[in-house]
Amino acid sequence: MRISDVLRHKGSAVCTVAPYTPMLDLLGLLNDRNIGAVVICEGDNVVGIVSERDVVHGLKDRGAGLLGLAAGDIMTRAVLFCDPADTVDSLAETMTERRIRHVPVLDNGRLAGIVSIGDVVKSRITQLENDREQLESYIARG
């Protein structure tokens, strides 16, 4: 299965904000949309990502002062991207090795979606269920 298949099922919507977005607004988005990460963009360019993990690290390092910062102050700048043609299995391996839970998808340099570790797990479970059904059908015909 490919990342494009995952996006076809889940959709391509991505929550994005500018680097100067106040932290309280970013936290509101994470809470209100029940999401774990927000992609930080300047125009059409992805410049970072802020995940729940970034917020936790920011709180540990800066305490309540975090709330007076902007998204760009705590964003992860070294963003790992994937391509719609990448396989779910290869992305799962990379996400596991690098301990990353959210990966933006770039299609010809443009933001085309975001894949979470939950999306990857759901995709793999679906594939396993399909494989099981095919094996059961094969055995029943046997």
Q: Give the neighbor-by-neighbor strand order of the sheet with 37-42.
A: 16-17, 37-42, 45-51
The 10s digit of each residue's pLDDT in 64-93 is: 999 999 999 999 999 999 999 999 999 999
Mean pLDDT throughout 81-109?
96
**Which single residue is written with the structure tokens 């095919």?**
134
Residue 121: which domain range?
Answer: 3-141
**The pLDDT value given to residue 50:** 98
Domain count, the chain: 1
Mean pLDDT throughout 120-138?
85
The 10s digit of each residue's pLDDT in 16-65 is: 999 999 999 999 999 999 999 999 999 989 999 999 999 999 999 999 99
**The pLDDT value given to residue 111:** 96
**The pLDDT value given to residue 141:** 83
Query: What 3-state DSSP class applies to 36?
Result: coil
According to DSSP, the residues that pair with 2 across neighbouring strands are 87
**The pLDDT value given to residue 142:** 67
The overall average pLDDT reported for the chain is 94
* Higher-pLDDT residue of 127, 51: 51
CATH number, domain of 132, equals: 3.10.580.10
Q: Which long-range contacts (CB under 8 A, 24 or more apart) does 126-134 make?
A: 127/1, 127/88
49's tokens: 């990502």
